[in-house]
Amino acid sequence: MLNARTRLFDSLDIQLERFHKPNMLAAKEEGRWKTYATSEIKDLVDRLSLGLLRLGVSGHDMTPERQDKIAIISNNRPEWVVTDLAVQQVGAVLTPIYPTTNPVELEFILQDAQVKYMFVNNQEQLDKVRALQPRVPSLQKIFTFDPVSGADHWEVLLDGGLLEDKARLQTIKDGIHPDHLATIIYTSGTTGTPKGVMLSHRNIVSNVIMAKESFPFPDAPETKVLSFLPLNHIFERCVTYIYLFSGISIYYAESMDTIAANLREISPDGFTTVPRLLEKVYERIMATAHELKGIKKTLFFWALRLGEKYDNRDPGSFGYRIQLALANKLIFSKWRAALGNNISFIVTGGAACQERLLRIFNAGRVPVYEGYGPTEHSPVISVNRRAPEGLTKFGSVGPVINGTELKLAEDGEICVKSPSVMMGYYKRPDLTAEVIIDGWLHTGDIGILEEGTFLKITDRKKELFKTSGGKYVAPQAVEGKMKDSPYIEQVMVVGPERKFVGALIVPSFTSLKKWCVANGVPFDTNEAVVREPRVLALFQEEVERCNQTLNHIEQVKKFELLPHEWTVDKGEMTPKLSMKRKVITEHYATVIERIYAEV
């Protein structure tokens, strides 16, 4: 059974014993879904473990500095999980790296962790690593998951082993303690050099147990999910372990571009996501809605207005409930069909989700639950609940999960204590001492407790800034309200040591184009339209509408429209789609100066 003595790789034996599945994992191969039974995955993991032992991979004395480090750069696929569990079984440490990591950060991680072997997805990632290999003397060999000419395919490690090798593997597994290091996850965050977060088996398993009980995730061998958030991030990785321990089948999306098609193909019960992807789903729905005509368009926006009023804790009047039921039958049923018609949960995290979207999706019987937690807590700290508990409040990240103590510092910083608190930052005891004080993890996030139960994140401690008048501004709160506008895709509040608050705004060009067509405004290029006077007047109205909900010091006095979205590729967004404020500030320094010119 799942308990404090469980190691992550024990999920294989537990699943094999309790609910052996024909479709433990699944992925599209040559245009068709290929499923892998629990016994197949168990066999692959054991064979890869034996292959790693033959290479000389070892946990040595199981101290973090001496355990061999194995890196992986890959999209989500069954081989990712097989590699993860195989590395754990030999006492080594998996160091996952985002495929989008820039070469400078990649080289730092490989050198800092002294990575010995590496698994990559394809030719592109192989070339990226090979270019750095001469400067990373610890890196001995690179294996590919896709067949690549002139490269070692990962299956060369699956040749099997002698009887004595299998006995040795069992001895090693028996000697791995829950407190031993399981993985190092390097977090780039929004600023600074990557830090290696060390997480033990106990750290992650305790989080699995607490999140599984709290949400809850019951054992459900008939359930299946779609996985598309990068497994390199602890959020998707932790829920993967939840799925494995719960007997839930995991289907991997082909790519971020095929999510919609994959949802319809497999009709999953749920998935995890980040708010940015939910926003994009909503934007596509709205783009389609604007093309409707007559009664269909009228009905759509009638349903949308009903959804915006939805409150899960207040069913509303009899008349409202009747109308919402009709809206679900006529309009929202199509939304559910687009998601596979079987969704019972969507968990979102990594950034604040617009409350408006939470209301609309939940009104349409697409249950979205917002949660919160940093990598340093393995990661879940809190999450809104589904039935039978049903403790959910829109705009909050839910109650703290079982087994986790929470306190708010004098400045509102969220501090937690639990078995899920990381071992520390790899090779950085100085940084560890700054964030773990007397066993309490200081998250760097500012929050409040609403009704004594529901945690609400108000900002990042490091992102708070003072205007030149000495007044503090919490930019996330302002940005969250501005993004309620259907015309605002991305926004970053600026103004440290300035006289007033300004903003960089990336329009939702899909919505803006519809508005331009309806109002006779030419839309030739993004660059031209953001300078169009009538478009600027539209955004001035949107900003003023938002300002009415803000304190005087928080109100945006001036803004600049930008012609292009901030992206991961340009280094402006983290892989989990959070803004890198420092990078954006540097990229748009001239634009920011325009905001404050002649003031």
Query: Measured between alpha carbons, how far apart are the two ends of the chain, in Å?
Result: 66
Instruction: Please report which residue ranges of 347-474 form alpha helices under DSSP H.
Output: 355-363, 429-435
The token pair that represents 552 in the structure block: 């005087």
Q: Do strands 413-417 and 436-437 pair parallel, antiparallel, or not at all (unpaired)?
A: unpaired
Of the listed ranges 247-256, 347-356, 426-435, the least confidently predicted one is 347-356
| CATH number of 271-341+343-461, picked from 3.40.50.12780, 3.20.20.140, 3.40.640.10, 3.40.50.300 | 3.40.50.12780
List pLDDT tens digits, range 511-560. 999 999 999 999 999 999 999 999 999 999 999 999 998 888 889 999 99
Q: Write down the residue that tokens 């090693």 correspond to.
A: 172
Q: Which helix (H) or strand (E) holds 297?
A: helix 294-308
What distance in Å separates the CA atoms of residue 7 and residue 5, rounded to the nearest whole number?
7
What distance in Å separates the CA atoms of residue 488 and residue 28, rounded to the nearest whole number?
35
The confidence score (pLDDT) of residue 187 equals 87
Instruction: Give me the CATH topology for the region 10-205.
Output: Rossmann fold (3.40.50)
The DSSP letter of residue 62 is S
The confidence score (pLDDT) of residue 599 equals 45
* Closest among 361, 350, 584 to 490, alpha carbons compared: 584
Whether 202 contacts 4, CB under 8 Å: yes
CA distances from 134 to 111, 193, 413, 494, 564 (A): 11, 22, 43, 41, 36
Indicate if the pLDDT at residue 197 is higher than 90: yes
Whether 407 contacts 440, CB under 8 Å: yes
The confidence score (pLDDT) of residue 287 equals 83
Given this structure, which CATH class describes domain 464-595?
Answer: alpha beta
Indicate if the pLDDT at residue 568 is higher than 90: no
The confidence score (pLDDT) of residue 288 equals 87
Indicate if the pLDDT at residue 457 is higher than 50: yes
List pLDDT tens digits, range 221-253. 999 999 999 999 999 999 999 999 999 999 999
**In sequence order, what are the residues at sequence separation of 6 or more whose Cβ sits closer than 8 angstroms to the Cβ of residue 276?**
351, 577
- Which residue ranges make up each domain of the chain? 10-205, 271-341+343-461, 464-595
pLDDT category of residue 579 using cuts at 50, 70 and 90: confident
The residues pairing with 33 across neighbouring beta strands, listed in sequence order, are 28
Whether 250 contacts 225, CB under 8 Å: yes
Q: Which helix (H) or strand (E) holds 45?
A: helix 38-55
pLDDT category of residue 192 using cuts at 50, 70 and 90: low
What is the average pLDDT value for the chain, to the nearest integer?
93
List pLDDT tens digits, range 14-30. 999 999 999 999 999 99
Domains 10-205 and 271-341+343-461 share a fold: yes
Count other Cβ atoms within 10 Å, centred on residue 400.
Answer: 23
Of the listed ranges 88-92, 458-462, 512-516, the least confidently predicted one is 458-462
Of the listed ranges 198-207, 277-286, 316-325, the least confidently predicted one is 277-286
Question: What phi, psi does 270 have (nearest 5°)?
Answer: -175, 180
**Whole-prediction pTM value?**
0.85
The residues pairing with 442 across neighbouring beta strands, listed in sequence order, are 415
The confidence score (pLDDT) of residue 463 equals 78
Classify 224 as helix, strand or coil.
Answer: strand
